[in-house]
């Protein structure tokens, strides 16, 4: 890896920040840009240093200060990818963080090697939510309305599509392309696209494209995921 990964951390526990700094300082492919301990300093740091990765605590000045500041951080540095770093596994917090623009989530208690792996995955665009986090999200859906249950169902599937499947879904949902249009765009036979779409429908347990697109439109899943998946899509 030629370019070092610029990493910053925002946590109100100074000892934890120093713990991470000591590890990052000896990582040959990590450039530690610094630590902050509140949202105001974090915003200024992100504006100045534009880190590739920000490890962000949820509870700073308030219970939800970390998740609340994510949209401001993304506006200050759109290319900075935010990994929520916390001791809490409350599903509603996970949902809010991801909805606001975080790309992943890891517990402070995780071994440093696991956190480092997560940083590399997110930086390279290969990250996916851990089973632990996915389970927490699924538990949260139990308290949601039927519409939001459908939303989480759709998000759970979309987040696991291949890049090819996701691109086809984009062409169907946003561009209203026909099978022939998609095949022409991708320089393949139409039968190949039909086969891919057939597999796509099976994943969503739908029988027709119209039925799938209608569900996606009603839940708003594509719009909610767009800011999270865009970073991954741009790096692939």
Biggest alpha carbon–alpha carbon distance for the chain: 59
Phi, psi at 189, each rounded to 5°? -75, 150
Cβ atoms of 66 and 93 within 8 Å: the answer is: no
For the stretch 140-153, pLDDT in tens is: 544 444 455 467 67
The number of beta carbons lying within 10 Å of the beta carbon of residue 149 is: 14
Binned at pLDDT 50, 70 and 90, residue 236 comes out as very low
Domains in the chain, please, with CATH? 5-128 (3.40.50.2300), 144-235 (1.10.10)
Please state the separation of Cα 189 from the chain's center in Å. Answer: 33
What is the DSSP annotation of 136-170?
HHHHHGGGS-HHHHHHHHHHHHHTTS-HHHHHHHH
Q: What is the rounded CA–CA span in Å between residue 56 and residue 60? A: 9
Q: Is the dihedral of CA 11, 16, 18, 23 positive or negative?
A: negative
What is the pLDDT, as a whole number, of residue 218? 79
Whether this prediction's pTM lies above 0.85 is answered by no
Separation of alpha carbons 6 and 23, rounded Å = 14
What confidence tens digit (pLDDT) does each residue in 7-36 have?
Answer: 999 998 999 899 999 999 999 999 999 999
Looking at residue 52, its pLDDT comes to: 94
User: What local confidence, expressed as pLDDT, does residue 1 receive?
Assistant: 46
Residue 122 pLDDT: 87
pLDDT at 139: 54
Determine the pLDDT at residue 89: 59
The rounded percent of the chain whose pLDDT value lies above 70 is: 80
- Here the tokens at position 112 are 């440093």
Per-residue pLDDT tens for 113-123?
889 988 998 88
Place of tokens 């979309």: 158
User: Any idea which residue has 């000045």 for tokens?
Assistant: 61
Cα 104 from Cα 97, distance rounded (Å): 9
């Amino acid at each position: 890896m030629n370019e070092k990964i610029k990493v910053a951390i925002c946590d109100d526990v100074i000892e934890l920040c120093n713990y991470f700094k000591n590890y990052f300082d000896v990582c040959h492919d990590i450039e530690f840009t610094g630590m902050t301990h509140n949202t105001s300093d974090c915003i200024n740091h992100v504006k100045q240093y534009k880190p590739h990765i920000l490890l962000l605590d949820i509870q700073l000045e308030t219970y939800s200060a970390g998740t609340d500041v994510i949209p401001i951080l993304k506006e200050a540095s759109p290319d900075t990818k935010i990994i929520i770093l916390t001791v809490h596994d409350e599903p509603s917090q996970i949902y809010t963080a991801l909805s606001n623009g975080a790309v992943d989530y890891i517990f402070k208690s995780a071994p440093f090697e696991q956190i480092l792996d997560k940083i590399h995955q997110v930086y390279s665009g290969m990250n996916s939510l851990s089973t632990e986090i996915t389970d927490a999200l699924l538990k949260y859906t139990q308290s949601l309305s039927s519409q939001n249950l459908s939303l989480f169902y759709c998000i759970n599937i979309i987040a696991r599509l291949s890049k090819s499947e996701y691109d086809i879904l984009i062409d169907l949902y946003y561009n209203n392309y026909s099978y022939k249009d998609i095949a022409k765009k991708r320089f393949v036979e139409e039968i190949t696209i039909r086969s891919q779409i057939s597999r796509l429908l099976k994943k969503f347990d739908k029988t027709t494209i119209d039925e799938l697109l209608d569900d996606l439109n009603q839940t708003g899943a594509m719009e909610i995921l767009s800011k999270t998946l865009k970073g991954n899509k741009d790096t692939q």
